[in-house]
Structure 1
Amino acid sequence: MSVYPNIRAGQRITAGLLTSMLPIEAYKRSTLTRTATTVTADDPDLQLALEGGAVYFVEFFVHYQAPAAELIKTTWNVPADAVGLRSAWGAASGVATADPSGDGRWGVHAFATTCTYGTRNSASQTMLVETGQIETTSAGTVAFQWAQNTSGLSGVQVCSGSYGRAKRIA
């Protein structure tokens, strides 16, 4: 079993050691709307700086609003040499009702694989969760990327209160 950080008996407790035990977190304070674009781009708030030569458990918990005609699609931007996979949970792309009756998407995907999510309706927030394990060789950033699935002028929003977190595990 891997333990990070590895603390030995008699080891000096320093601020750096204690800080290395904390997760890296990002919080979205204001809602962002994207219109007329189907190209996923980094969310300016949901980005986490990762150290090189490390393994992280990463999660993004995202509140969003999307018209049924546009929907939301996501990918992750990771350091070029990073390896791992991400899991996706949320409303299935065919869901466009306040009562999805259990229709969901869940699966394991490559970081760059597009995941498209459904919606409750364009005026109500819903949520998606994506988690993954990232192993890095060099330092870099993991960023939650998103766009409209179908271009439109109503706009898709990633809402305030969304967050990302990375915990180094090795």
Structure 2
Amino acid sequence: MSQYPVLYAGRRLTSGLLSSMLVTEAYKRSTLTRTATTVTADDPDLQFALEANAIYFVEFFVHYQAPSAELIKTTWNVPADAIGLRSAWGVANGVATSDPSGDGRWGIHAFATTCIYGTRNSASQTMLVETGQVETTSAGTVAFQWAQNTSGLTGVQVCSGSYGRAKRLA
């Protein structure tokens, strides 16, 4: 079992050492709407600073609303030299009904691969989950990125209550 950091007998406990053991969390307090854009951009709330030469497990739990004509698409922004993959779970991009009957998307993707998710209907929230391992050489930020899949004026929302967490593994 991986343990970070390793605590050896006699090691001095400092606030920095104790802090490095904690999961870093990010919480979205207010809903953000994006209209007339299909270019994914960092969510201002759902992001974390990563240290150099480290391995992290990152999770994003996202509540969103998307009109069936626009849908939502996602990517991750990671440091340029980071390696790893992300997993994606949510409503399949062909779903635009209040009863998706189990139609979903799940898969493993590169950080920059676009994932498109469907919707329950324009007025109801649904959710997606993306998780992954990020291995860094340089320090930087991992951020959840999103936009409309098809440009429109109604807008896609990432809603309050969405959150993310990152745990350093090594």
Q: TM class, shorter-chain normalised?
A: over 0.9
SS at match of 1:63: strand
**Partner deviation per Cα, 1:57-77 (whole Å, 9 max, x = no partner):** 000000000000000000000
What residue number does 2:17 align with? Answer: 17
What letter is aligned with 2:44? Answer: P
Moved over 6 A (4+): none
What letter is aligned with 2:2? Answer: S
**Partner deviation per Cα, 1:6-61 (whole Å, 9 max, x = no partner):** 10112122111110000111111110000011000111111100000000000000
1:80 CA displacement: 0.4
TM-score (structure 1 length as normaliser): 0.98
In 1, distance between residues paired with 2:147 and 2:68? Answer: 14
What residue number does 1:83 align with? Answer: 83
Specify every segment of 5 or more residues in structure 2 that has no aligned partner in the other structure, as ranges.
Answer: none
In 2, distance between residues paired with 1:92 and 1:2? Answer: 34
Structure 1 segment 62-101 matched on structure 2, within 5 A: 62-101=62-101
SS at match of 1:96: coil
What residue number does 2:104 align with? Answer: 104
In 2, distance between residues paired with 1:2 and 1:146? Answer: 32
**Partner deviation per Cα, 1:76-110 (whole Å, 9 max, x = no partner):** 00000000000000000011111111100000000
What residue number does 1:119 align with? Answer: 119
1:160 CA displacement: 0.5
What residue number does 2:134 align with? Answer: 134
1:2 CA displacement: 2.9
In 1, distance between residues paired with 2:8 and 2:101? Answer: 51
In 2, distance between residues paired with 1:58 and 1:159? Answer: 19
Between the aligned residues of both structures, percent identity stands at 86
SS at match of 1:128: strand
Q: Name the count of aligned residue pairs.
A: 170
